[in-house]
């Protein structure tokens, strides 16, 4: 089962919001089967902003973090089709456009799950179910992956 990672998972893994969140995110990522996880390009852009604006990392350090994540996982491009579908998704379901881009990209790349703390857990669209990977108990679909 293919899984897309949202910005908060990577941000936590980078140490945003403390050691406990970092350890939980890194443990989650380590438990994902090889080849199961992908990262939408939109997530990398959001991560850059979080690291620079919220954490205060230098732009060079944030760029290095993006490169490390890009090297660790395949990325999903944001095509014109992904963007147009995201705009429809934002209108139809009242999502923020950038969250909709991530969900649209996940769907276009064949993901079954989007691991995110930012969207409504259990929301399913075009075959992708949003799952909060830090909730307890874990969603059954996430348990099946792990």
Q: What is the pLDDT of residue 118?
A: 87
CATH number of 3-145: 3.40.50.1010
The one-digit pLDDT tens for each residue of the chain (146 residues) are 999 999 999 999 999 999 999 999 999 999 999 999 999 999 999 999 999 999 999 999 999 999 999 999 999 999 999 999 999 999 999 999 999 999 999 999 999 999 999 898 999 999 999 999 999 999 999 999 99
pTM of the predicted protein model:
0.94
Alpha helices, DSSP H, located in 3-139: 7-13, 19-31, 41-49, 59-72, 80-93, 97-108
Domain residue ranges of the chain, discontinuous segments joined by +: 3-145
Longest CA span, the chain: 39
Identify any residues that bridge with 38 across adjacent strands, giving them in sequence order: 4
Contact present, 64 and 93 (Cβ < 8 Å): no
């Amino acid at each position: 089962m293919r899984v897309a990672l949202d910005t908060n998972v990577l941000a936590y893994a980078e140490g945003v919001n403390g050691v406990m969140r970092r350890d939980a995110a890194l443990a989650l990522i380590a438990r994902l089967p090889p080849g199961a996880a992908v990262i939408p390009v939109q997530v990398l852009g959001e991560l850059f902003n979080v690291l620079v604006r919220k954490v205060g990392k230098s732009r060079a350090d944030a760029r290095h973090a993006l490169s490390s994540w890009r090297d660790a996982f395949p990325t999903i491009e944001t095509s014109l089709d992904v963007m147009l579908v995201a705009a429809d998704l934002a209108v139809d379901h009242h999502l923020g456009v950038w969250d909709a881009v991530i969900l649209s990209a996940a769907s276009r790349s064949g993901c079954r799950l989007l691991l995110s703390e930012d969207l409504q857990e259990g929301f399913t669209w075009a075959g992708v179910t949003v799952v909060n990977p830090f909730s307890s108990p874990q969603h059954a679909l996430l348990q099946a992956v792990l």
